[in-house]
Amino acid sequence: MIRRIAPLAGILLLSGCMWVDQKGFTSGMSAPNPGVALANLEVISVINTKKTLTDHVATWVTGKDCSTVRAQREGTWCTDWPGPPPPQQQVYCYASLARPSCYAQPYNEGNDRLIGFVPAPTPLRR
C-alpha cells in the first residue's frame, strides 16, 4: 500500500513547485514573468487570507479590516476590527450524581460539596 501511495505523494509535492503561466505549468526553478508571478501571489493570498494584495495594503493604511471577498458577499469592503470578547464569569462546580453541576453563583444548600472554582480572569492594565 505504501509503495503505491509514496510515488503519488511525491508527484503531488513536486507539483507545488510549479508556476502557471500562459503556456501552462512551468517549473518553479525558471524565473516567471513578473506579471504571472504577481497573479500567482494574488491567488495564493486570496486562498490563504481571503484578501487580495491590495486589501492587505488598504488594511495597513486604514487600520481597518478590508476584504474584497467580503465586499462581494456582504457589500462592505472595510470594517472595524471586532472588539475583545466579554470577560468570562466565575464558575462554581459542585458534585452531583452523574456529572458536576456548575453555577455562576455559589450554591449554598448545606450538603453540597464544592469540587471546583474557576475565578474570572483579571484584566491586564494597559
Domain membership of residue 126 (yes or no) is no
β 18-21/24-27 pair status: antiparallel
Residues 39 and 63 in one domain: yes
Contacts of 104 (CB under 8 A, 6+ apart): 89, 90, 91, 92
* Cell numbers that stand for 7 in this block: 510515488
Residues 60 and 93 in one domain: no
**Count of domains forming the chain:** 2
Residues 100 and 73 in one domain: no
The residue with greater pLDDT, 13 or 69, is 69
Residues 76 and 37 in one domain: yes
pLDDT at residue 14, rounded to an integer: 58
Neighbours of 66 (CB within 10 A): 22
Residues 97 and 114 in one domain: yes
Domain membership of residue 72 (yes or no) is yes
Domain membership of residue 25 (yes or no) is no
Q: Helices in 27-122 by DSSP H: which ranges? A: 34-49, 53-62, 68-74
| Rama region for 75: left / alpha / beta (φ>0; ψ in -120 to 50; rest) | left
Residues 88 and 110 in one domain: yes
Domain membership of residue 16 (yes or no) is no
**Nearest of 73, 58, 92, 41 to residue 32 by alpha carbon:** 41
Domain span holding position 98: 84-120
- Cα torsion at 36, 39, 43, 44 (round to 10°)? 60
pLDDT tens track for 17-47: 666 666 766 665 555 577 777 888 888 889 9
Residues 76 and 44 in one domain: yes
pLDDT tens track for 95-109: 878 888 788 777 777
Domain membership of residue 4 (yes or no) is no
Which residue bears the cell 513547485?
17
Structure confidence at residue 57 as a pLDDT band (50, 70, 90): very high
Rounded mean pLDDT of 2-19? 64
pLDDT higher than 90, residue 80: yes
Residues 68 and 108 in one domain: no
Residues 88 and 49 in one domain: no
**Nearest of 42, 6, 36, 45 to residue 18 by alpha carbon:** 36
